[in-house]
Structure 1
Amino acid sequence: MSTVPARGVLIVSEADDLHAAAMVATLREQHAMTPLRWDLRDFPREPGSFRLGAAGVERSLAGLAGLDEVGSVWWRRPHPSSVPAGVRADDNAYRQAECDAFVQGLLWSLGAQWINDPGNDRIAHRKIVQLDTARRAGCTVPDTLVTNDPDEAREFIETCGSRVVFKRTGTSRAEFSETRLVGTADLDRLGSIRWAPTTFQRYIDPECDLRVVWVDGQEWAVRIDSRAGAGRVDSRLDTSVDFVPTLLPAAVSKSLATLMGTLGLSFGVLDLRVGLDGEYYFLEVNPQGQFAYLEIKTGLPIFTSLANLLVYGDGAVSGW
């Protein structure tokens, strides 16, 4: 690991994000560094400027002293700018576009290490991109249909030869949407997917679930004993069962490395499921996924690993 720290760290996230707060504490305690934090919703209430001239470039955002000295950015959970609504919808759209273009351009023009690159992050959030890229990377992916055609969905469910789950196709900050098994009542409501394309997937009966925090090639894998709890369909929020650090088979690690490299992600939280057939199934990757509870449950030094990546460009942790 390099011993030369980055020039400075910027965390772009919600003001009340607990992961961002924990990273600030980690950087202070382990690297004697106080990072900058910015919630994009503070703009345009707080002023900002970009100046370019013979003397070079100068960026400023109120409350972010030293923005031009930032060498590493954690693009954690960015919001759009928060523009007060006016009378005319066209005026609102114009102001929103101008504010987003300014603050995003101001930050994205920084010659910094990005975790993750905003463009790659945006593309990787698309579930269809993830699934197809995972398949090409050598991951095993359950039979899947993403559609807004009720007839296609009904045929898939009837011919799958197994139980089928359904889940949302997009991502947002709306209420958490649980993965659920398709039931009789759901079949009666298939017409509603016309206006909300839905992901249908062959249900994999689990031996266990795995949540893997990827930090630039460093895998922090946790085995979740999902068969013992109430969340066998969707174990992500079931913290009542055992969480145990584990290692992945070499072939699975190789496929995940190919997947993350192709997506251009240096960080992500991956969900895998080990089926009763012993196969490791890829379910999804969240470039801004939650992981604090994994460290709390297992003691794995995930925040330390990510802090090392932000400061040194290397997520390795001594002794692990």
Structure 2
Amino acid sequence: MAPGSVLIVSESADLHASAMTATLREQHGLTPIHLDLRDFPTEFGSFRVDRLGTTRSLSHLIGLDEVGAVWWRRPHPSVVPAGVRAADDAYRQAECDAFIQGLLWSIPALWVNDPGADRTAGRKIVQLETARRAGFAVPETLITNDPDEARGFVESRPGPVVYKRTGTSRAEFSETRIIAATDYAKLAGIRSAPTTFQDYIAAECDLRVVWVDGVEWTVRIDSQAGVGRVDSRLDTSVEFRPDTLPASVSKSLATLMGALGLSFGVLDIRLGTDGEYYFLEVNPQGQFAYLEIKTGLPIFQSLGNLLVHGDGAVPEWTD
């Protein structure tokens, strides 16, 4: 692939995008194009088709037509330009989305991930159903906006139940918590915000797995040794170390990611005290830099190899 042929679509301040830029420069002598969709429509853009083919341009970028791979990392909606009336903004946003998404999605490149698959796979209900069919153990779960059904589910379970967000937008961080009797009075609030209720799995540890098109980078998190016993994201002071998955779990993982159409994703799996590996969720745009910092696993190099060569393998790390 020619220099400048990798496009990273993410917010300008995204540390993962910056780290990938450094990796591509150091490992492949390649400087990627970085696009923050909030730059449009401040910048000009055009798409043209004629008898010679098609051309794409954005006024602040060079080489868009030479892109061979795209990391669809963390796209943002465009920013409302000054002077646009609120009443006109829905129309403006729809036109901007239709243009910029069409401009980019029409690029015949390797997509990590395909935007359509990325959006569908980000729905937790889709994930849970697909994981179940792929052979994963999945904690018994109810997702609802019916307070009575939620209370009935919690009271019917033999052990503790956690509650957590159903969506995956970049809203304020929301902790996964065990529901207590004192929380019942708050259940009316789910009428306008469907909530996920799920059996709490007593854990031996938590696993965070970064999937790079068939290559598994698995990190074992000693979550039960700290304050993150329910939600492993709450304590990064515990031990993190590289690990591997049993062959049967790897098979379910490959089936799941293939069915979701994802070439990249960050998965949360909980190893129960019963020895079962429970699927919790997959984030197609998940965070993983801290895993590389803590374990030394070459995750950025793996993803860079995928973007440049179409293969995420890192030979010196192959078992």
Shorter chain as denominator, the TM-score bin is over 0.9
C-alpha displacement of 1:88: 4.4
- After the TM superposition, which residues 1-320 of structure 1 pair with which residues of structure 2 at under 5 Å, given as runs? 8-84=5-81, 88-320=85-317
C-alpha displacement of 1:171: 1.3
1:319 counterpart SS class: helix
2:43 counterpart SS class: coil
C-alpha displacement of 1:55: 2.2
Distance 1:303 1:107 in 2: 23
> What amino acid does structure 2 have at the position aligned with 1:139?
F
C-alpha displacement of 1:174: 1.3
1:41 counterpart SS class: helix
1:56-83: CA deviation from partner (whole Å, max 9, x where unpaired): 2110012211100000000000001112
Stretches of structure 2 lacking an aligned partner (at least 5 in a row): none
Distance 1:288 1:164 in 2: 27
> What amino acid does structure 2 have at the position aligned with 1:54?
R
Stretches of structure 1 lacking an aligned partner (at least 5 in a row): none
Q: 1:171 to 1:260 in 2, by over 3 A?
A: same
* Alignment check: 8 A CA contact 2:41 2:81 kept: no
C-alpha displacement of 1:188: 1.2
Q: 1:131 to 1:42 in 2, by over 3 A?
A: same
Q: Which moved more, 1:237-246 or 1:27-36?
A: 237-246
* Superposition TM-score, scaled by structure 2 size: 0.97
* Alignment check: 8 A CA contact 1:86 1:92 kept: no
Distance 1:6 1:227 in 2: 46
Distance 1:107 1:161 in 2: 50
2:173 counterpart SS class: coil
* Alignment check: 8 A CA contact 2:227 2:234 kept: no
1:81 counterpart SS class: coil
1:82 counterpart SS class: coil
The CA RMSD measured in Å over matched residues stands at 1.2
* Alignment check: 8 A CA contact 1:167 1:200 kept: yes
Q: Would you identify which runs of 4 or more consecutive aligned residues in structure 1 move more than 2 Å?
A: 4-7, 83-90
* Alignment check: 8 A CA contact 1:11 1:74 kept: yes
* Alignment check: 8 A CA contact 1:207 1:275 kept: yes
> What amino acid does structure 1 have at the position aligned with 2:218?
A
Aligned residues: 317
> What amino acid does structure 1 have at the position aligned with 2:284?
P
Distance 1:5 1:97 in 2: 34
